[in-house]
Amino acid sequence: MNLVVYAILIPLLVTFIAPFFRPRTAAIVSFVAFIIPFFVTLWALLTNQSFELPLMNLGKPIGEFYLFADSISNAFGATICLVSAMVALYSLPYMKHRFEEMRDEIDDVTREFRKYFLLFNLYAVSMLWLVYSGNLILLYIFLEISLLASFLLIYKYGYGNRQWVALLYFVWTHIAGVLTLIGFLMIAFENSTLALKSITTVSFLAWLLIFLGMIVKLPGLGPHIWLPWAHAEAPTPVSALLSPLTVGLAGYVLLRIYLVSPWFINEFRNIIIAYGILTSIYAGFSVFKQTDYKKLLAYSTVSQMGYMLIALCLGSYGLLGVVIQYISHAFGKSILFMTAGGIIALYHGLRDVNKMGGLHEYIPTISNAALIGFMNLSGILAVGMFGEFFILKGIVDVYGLDLKLILAVVFVFIISGWYSFYTLRRIFYGTPKGMESPRVSRLLDTPLYVIGIISIAFIFPPLATLFLKSLKLCILGGVCP
Amino acid sequence: MIELIVTSLILIALGSALSFKSPKSVFVISLIALLIMLLLPEYRSYVALVIAIGVLNLFSMTLMKNQIKGVDYALTALIAIATVYVVFTNDLAMILLMFVITSIPTYVLIMTSEGKANVEVAIKYITFMVLATVLFLAGAMLLVYANSVNAGYLYVLGFVMLILGLGMEVGCAPMHEWVPDVFDTADPIPVSIVASIAKIVPFVVAYKILIMTTNPLTTNIVLFVAFVAAVSMFIGNIGALTSTNPARILAYSTIANMGYILATLVALINLNWIYLAFAGALLQLMANAFGKVGFFVSIKDGGASTYLTYALAFSFIGMPPLIGFWGKLFILLSLVKVGYIWLALILVINSAMSVPYYIRLARILAKPTIPSVVNAIVLSAVALTFITIVPPNWFIDLAKAIIGGV
Amino acid sequence: MIDIATLLFLLFATPVACSLPIAFAWVYRPGAEWARKLPILSVFGLFVSLCIALYILFYFPNGTYTYPWLPDYNINFVFIFDYLSKYMGALTALIAFLIGVYGLEYMRHDYRLGWYWFFFNMFTSSMLLVVYSDNLMLLLIGWEGLGLASWGLIGHWFRDDDELSYVGIIGRKVGPLNMFWSPSFGGWRAISTIRFGDMPMFFAIAAIYALTGNLNISEIDWAGLFHHIGAIGTVILMIALLMGPFTKSAQLPFSEWLMTAMTGPTTVSALLHSATMVAAGTYLFMRLSWYIEPWKLHHMHGVEMVYLFVLFLGLISALYGASVALGCRERKVLLAASTMSSLGLMFACAAASFWLGKIAIYVAFWYLIVHAFAKATLFLVAGHLIHATHDRFCCGDLELARKMKVAFVATVFATLCLSGVPPFTAYWVKSAMDGIMHHLMHEVGSAPLYLLIAVSVIYSAFLAKFLSLNFIKGDKPKHLHLHGEVLMPIAYAIMVSMLAVLLYAILGHAEPIAGGFVEKGFERSSLAVGLAVLISYAIALVVPRLESPIGRFLGDRMYMPALNDYIIPKIGWAIAKIVDYGNRLIDTFCHQAIPELIATYSLGIRAIQSGYLKRYVKIALGFVMVALIVASLVRW
């Protein structure tokens, strides 16, 4: 059996073991459980490994259940592992603070930590397995498990009117999930199977339903309204998985379907790309008006997900862009949500941007991490650069020098840079507001830098050389010309 | 095979006679009678599931003192046996008899309570049930007759009557009025039986009759089924959204669930896929039964362990890999397959709408985890919702086998 | 012997690596005594890269060196060593090192040394990368590094609490405009403007890659590319590509960020915002033109349009910058405006290569070198003056000049050299420039020449004004604190002496190209221009101040800030507001209206349950009847 399979089994096992440890040990165990598969999947990505592992055969119309990996899966998998590992460590000080805040509702912190780590690991591991599932039903099951776990985390540990927000999140994404499911089922009947390798055709209605479902999940303009609520009110470590990893998986699903049957996207390319651009610009402008740091980041997520839609329409180089954009956004946004969490933990729930300003004076390490995060979002000296590069190349490949489109997409990128640095200034620079300098737990800032350094290392050899080579072999070398 | 059934029936009859002496022995005898069923050679998984529900019902009956202690066990067992037997026969008279047999005991059961007999509820219930039974039987007869003389008009009339009877029996909107009242005012334990195992036979019978009598007009007339199903889903889910009383929430949830199951009947237009629809209906009925038993038993005790109530709620919502997911999945599969996409979409919307009240229900009934009989029963129900952790393709084979001979 | 790869690695990595200790030290022990000694290490890093850059200048053969980066995409680390990059690299490293030395003293008591030195050194590395890289993608890495470092250093004094770090008179308003800018604002404005240019440039790079599959400037088949995409395509592509240089080099209308960039420490202004970073834009344009060889593409209208556009954009920006500098009374802002003006001249001159060939690029490049040293000197002096007088505005009299002899002499020499007074350094280069614009008469008309002369005259006037107001005829400074600085005067003394070296190089024919400059310098027309420049220099020296509304208009930068501070933000906020309302609308609709509607229905449905059996039976039987009747009536 392949090394990758063993590696992704570790977090699955640890999910059920970690709750038996004390919080500190549990955090470390979870961290180790995700960092090992990170290295393994990264290795697999860099060396362009691929495998297939049959699990069982369900007969028509569901077909074979199997795990598989190619460089796309590995790229997503490595990202998920890294972010989950770092957030697991980060959870420890953050959730300690959160439980402290919730002391009226909680009687035993250690017990709550047990529940928390169970749900957290379940959440992360279901996303990890999702990208390795070879059957659409299996994929859907992991999608729903991740939804369930994240729902419970918000429901139990969120902020504000958390039960309402959790329900809202659940309802929206459930609609998304079930719409997609119907799409999958139609595929099942058309092909008598849902095994990715055996699907040959995807009809219009199936594609449409999957696309609509994933648009809700991604989210596109319109359905995006659930996201600021969910991402802002979730406990921050959950936000730091939800926004960077979960929503982007919608892009992963679309990518997989695209690789099987690209006709839908190709046919409606103009509409989809216009919608993606509109989403991105709309959400980009929304960022400026936000006063809640986490909500602000949530809108920026919407904007970044617009990139994914745009990239999806741009041929094979666009697909490269989708993968890289996912990685880049995951790194950047996880760092940023963790900085938001850092501020919340250190300043007793401070989230109002208007009350911030000059925070660099007091928490320079978090401020610098935020800089790296925003660099990732705006594609400055971080892996996002390649994402933008391939998107732009895709435009020329597909549309030639179409001035309107060029201006629109370029403006999308500009807007990201603008709101990034505007927000940095609002929060971290300017005249300090006379707060006290707190003692920052090392777990609140070091994980951020680890992600940050890796995100920068991804533009230099050997990482850049190898991972782009593998992706090229995977995406450009075969499935779709 | 029939020997086993007869043995069980004799056991139950003897047991009921003992009820004046020792209710406990009736319990044991009923249990044995049920377990004997497991020896049946065919449809083992179906039998096992039904017996599991029956045994759960039996155990939950122990939680309740009532006027007919002892006989209630026997009645419960009788329903279960009828539910088992209905899949073994294709004889029209026999299946209609099974329909009646599962219906009648509930009249008595619903009346029982720990204090005075609950006559008012019983009147409402019995009125509707009698109406339903009449409509159903008349519809069935009309269908069979119309089929033999090839009379289209009669077929349509029979079809509509049968569906109306079925809907009234199980509680589909807009004939659902009895459901919230009965579920709310009767004792939770008999309700748990009415809401769980008693729903299976009407559907199986309806399936068998309708499949037997399909003709070209079916294509048009199933629209009526789709209509009732859609109304039922909406009324159930919307009604539940603002209810705060757990029993009422469950009542509306039942209405909605019956809507989902009724919807599968549209697969009649394409008999190639009817096994899938039947699998969906059956699985959803099982999911509904496990969930309802679990919830009503919790209501009896004012709640159950947090984990258990949430697990039940998620099964109802349809989270994989719980049984509720597979039920909805197969229903959706069949709807999509026979081309009723709009009904599938309505189901999706309803499924999303149901999320808030199931979660609310789970929260209302959540209590700290302590060892108790109630928790044990609910735990068993939850454990049963997890049987589909391995994808239940065996269930499709089962449905094919049951429906194939018709 | 160290191989070339290691050498190049050291060239780029040493500055950054050497600044890491202080960066980390400052995070964990800000302000510790031992940490304040670490900047020496950073400067050592700059010194190492200087040595390597000089080694490259003197001993490397021309050519390219390729190391794998993304070989599967034909994108690699390609370094090029040619006339432009060798000189530019050495210039960058030298100026960075000198300013680094100056900074040791200038920034000694700063509260944020880790940040400062990290970005300072990162800047140097990035700049060297831009200079030496032949691959556009690699160049872009350096380019983004420049932008980031510029942002970090402009906003260095992020607390916005020091009057000395502002630009403009605090509290002054003209109409709705605040005419003062804080460091954190300056940083944001710089990066936002630069992003605005970088993204089109990034697009152009991607487009070039998509169209040719190659990103090495020296290898791309430019003629083929332009031919393939036609005139309109060429214009779109080239303007997109040049948006990067235009914003980076603060050409109109992107000039404002450079003015407010003066909120950064003076060392930063000297290194980034006069000598090197802003010149990177023009440098890139020269490098591109060098290999595009536009003089061979005369039949391509697209290319011609682009070069014509750059020519006039450069000249008009130069005129604008010079006029603003003339009206400006803030030391650093004056120098910034003059920098912009010079950059405009460089663009214009390099753009003339379309008609005149490579020589125009040589001239532009030489002007860049002269300008870099002179302007860096002036900035360093300005920094010293600000330290000494605690005043951002020009002030100082002869007494100050006596006390700060080195600064005074350096200023005199630098202004003379830069303004083009014969026979000082810039005179020869400017003469060549005059000659080039003169040649354009046939193709473009006489406008470029007259614009150039006008700019030259104004340019020398404000330089003289700068000298006069700071050392001769200015107000007496309110405070005067000389702290016995040593490193600072040494640094700018060396810097200014480089101008003499250049003068020697030109007159002594040490550089073959320079021979042509001297020849041009002795032409009558050049001498005439030189005379005009000298006269304006003299007048301004004597009459450095002239109160007039025009002066105020110029000093307020012709109200260009309105574009950045009023018009664009207003539009942006209007859209943001609409978008915000949109979000609220969707939010209310989805999360309030629909749930409330459903709740109403829900209550309605529950209202059926009155508890009366009669009613229930009526409803149920009613439905049964209706259903049956409908079923009967429909014809099957």
- Would you list the domain boundaries of chain B? 2-404
Measure in Å the smallest separation between the Cα of B239 and chain C Cα atoms: 4
Region C211-221: what's the mean pLDDT? 92
Residues in chain B within 8 Å Cβ distance of C628: 157, 160-161, 164
The residues, any chain, with a CB within 8 Å of residue C106's CB and separated by 6 or more, are C265, C266, C267, C383, C384, C387, C488
Q: How many CA atoms lie within 13 A of B364 on its CB side?
A: 19
In the predicted structure, residue C507 carries a pLDDT above the cut 90: no
Q: Band of the pLDDT at C115, cuts 50, 70, 90?
A: very high
Nearest to B388 by CA among C358, C258, A141: A141
CB-closest option in A225, A403, A465 to C69 = A465
Region C247-270: what's the mean pLDDT? 92
User: Which among A167, A181, A187, A190 is the top mutation candidate for probing chain B, defined by the most B β-carbons within 10 Å of its own β-carbon?
Assistant: A181
Residue B77 confidence (pLDDT): 92
CB-closest option in C616, C624, C634 to B135 = C624
Residue A481 confidence (pLDDT): 32
In the predicted structure, residue B316 carries a pLDDT above the cut 90: yes
Note the maximum CA span of chain C: 118
Residue of chain C minimizing CA distance to A359: C159
CB-closest option in C611, C634, C636 to B181 = C611
pLDDT tens-place string over residues C607-630: 988 888 889 999 999 999 999 888
pLDDT tens-place string over residues C57-69: 999 899 999 999 9
Question: What's the CA gap between A41 and B103, in Å, rounded?
Answer: 59
In the predicted structure, residue B205 carries a pLDDT above the cut 90: yes
CB-closest option in C611, C619, C636 to B156 = C636
Flag whether the pTM goes above 0.95.
no
pLDDT digit of tens for each residue in chain A (481 aa)? 588 999 999 999 999 999 999 999 999 999 999 999 999 999 999 999 888 999 888 777 778 889 999 999 999 999 999 999 999 999 999 999 999 989 888 888 999 999 999 999 999 999 999 999 999 989 998 998 999 899 999 999 999 899 899 999 999 998 898 889 888 988 887 888 889 888 999 999 899 999 999 999 988 999 999 999 999 999 999 999 999 999 999 999 999 999 999 999 999 999 999 999 999 999 999 999 999 999 999 999 999 999 999 999 998 899 999 999 999 999 999 999 999 999 999 998 899 999 998 899 899 999 999 999 999 999 999 999 999 999 999 999 999 999 999 999 999 999 999 999 999 999 999 899 888 888 888 999 999 999 999 999 999 988 999 999 999 988 887 444 3
ipTM of the complex: 0.94
Residues in chain A within 8 Å Cβ distance of B352: 171-172, 174-175, 178
Measure in Å the smallest separation between the Cα of B361 and chain C Cα atoms: 16
Q: CB contacts < 8 Å between A and C, how many?
A: 150
Q: Residue with structure tokens 């850092």?
A: A342
Question: What's the CA gap between C208 and C139, in Å, rounded?
Answer: 14
Note whether B341 contacts A182, CB cutoff 8 Å.
yes
Note whether B325 contacts A144, CB cutoff 8 Å.
yes
Contact (Cβ atoms closer than 8 angstroms) between residue B374 and residue B64: no
Q: How far is CA C271 from the centre of its chain?
A: 11
In this structure, chain C runs to a length of: 636
Question: What's the CA gap between C121 and C188, in Å, rounded?
Answer: 21
Note whether B348 contacts A182, CB cutoff 8 Å.
yes
Residue A478 confidence (pLDDT): 46
Measure in Å the smallest separation between the Cα of B304 and chain C Cα atoms: 27
CB-closest option in A396, A422, A431 to C206 = A396
User: Which among A393, A402, A403, A439 is the top mutation candidate for probing chain C, defined by the most C β-carbons within 10 Å of its own β-carbon?
Assistant: A393
Region C128-132: what's the mean pLDDT? 95
Q: Which chains touch A (3 or more CB pairs under 8 A)?
A: B, C
Note whether C202 contacts A381, CB cutoff 8 Å.
no
Residue A1 confidence (pLDDT): 57
Note whether A396 contacts C211, CB cutoff 8 Å.
yes
In the predicted structure, residue C480 carries a pLDDT above the cut 70: yes
Q: Band of the pLDDT at B406, cuts 50, 70, 90?
A: low
Which positions in chain B have a beta carbon within 8 angstroms of at least one beta carbon in chain C?
123-124, 127-128, 131, 135, 152-153, 156-157, 159-161, 164, 168, 174-175, 177-178, 180-181, 217, 220-221, 224, 235, 238-243, 248, 353
Residues in chain B within 8 Å Cβ distance of A122: none
Instruction: Quickly list DSSP for A68-124.
Output: EE-HHHHHHHHHHHHHHHHHHHHHHHHHHHHHHHTTTT-S-HHHHHHHHHHHHHHHH
Note whether C620 contacts B181, CB cutoff 8 Å.
no
Residue of chain A minimizing CA distance to B341: A182
Residue C529 confidence (pLDDT): 92
Residues in chain B within 8 Å Cβ distance of C620: 128, 131, 168, 174-175, 177
Average pLDDT, chain C: 91
Evaluate the omega torsion of the peptide bond into residue B392 and state whether it is cis, within 30 degrees of 0.
no
Burial class (CB in 10 A: 0-12, 13-18, 19+), C284: buried
Q: Which residues pair with A292 in a beta bridge?
A: A352
Residue A153 confidence (pLDDT): 94
Measure in Å the smallest separation between the Cα of C582 and chain B Cα atoms: 24
Residue C523 confidence (pLDDT): 87
User: Which among A173, A401, A433 is the top mutation candidate for probing chain C, defined by the most C β-carbons within 10 Å of its own β-carbon?
Assistant: A401
Residues in chain A within 8 Å Cβ distance of C137: 389
Q: Residue with structure tokens 């440039």?
A: C201
Residues in chain A within 8 Å Cβ distance of C195: 378, 414, 417-418, 421
Residue A63 confidence (pLDDT): 85
Per-position b or e across A179-197, b if 16+ CB within 10 A of its CB: bbbbbbbbbbbbbebbbbe
Q: Residue with structure tokens 């609520």?
A: A229
In the predicted structure, residue B246 carries a pLDDT above the cut 70: yes
Residues in chain A within 8 Å Cβ distance of B359: 155, 163, 166-167, 170
Q: Band of the pLDDT at C163, cuts 50, 70, 90?
A: confident
Residue A480 confidence (pLDDT): 40
Q: Which chains touch B (3 or more CB pairs under 8 A)?
A: A, C
Nearest to A384 by CA among A445, A277, A311, A449: A311
Residues in chain B within 8 Å Cβ distance of A137: 329, 391
pLDDT tens-place string over residues B357-386: 999 999 999 988 889 999 999 999 999 999
Residues in chain C within 8 Å Cβ distance of B180: 606, 609
Question: What's the CA gap between C186 and A457, in Å, rounded?
Answer: 29
Question: What's the CA gap between C614 and C610, in Å, rounded?
Answer: 10
In the predicted structure, residue B15 carries a pLDDT above the cut 90: no
Pairing verdict, β B304-305 and B366-367: parallel
Measure in Å the smallest separation between the Cα of A28 and chain B Cα atoms: 26
pLDDT tens-place string over residues B78-135: 999 999 999 998 889 999 999 999 999 999 999 888 888 888 888 999 999 999 999 9
Residue C76: DSSP 8-state: E
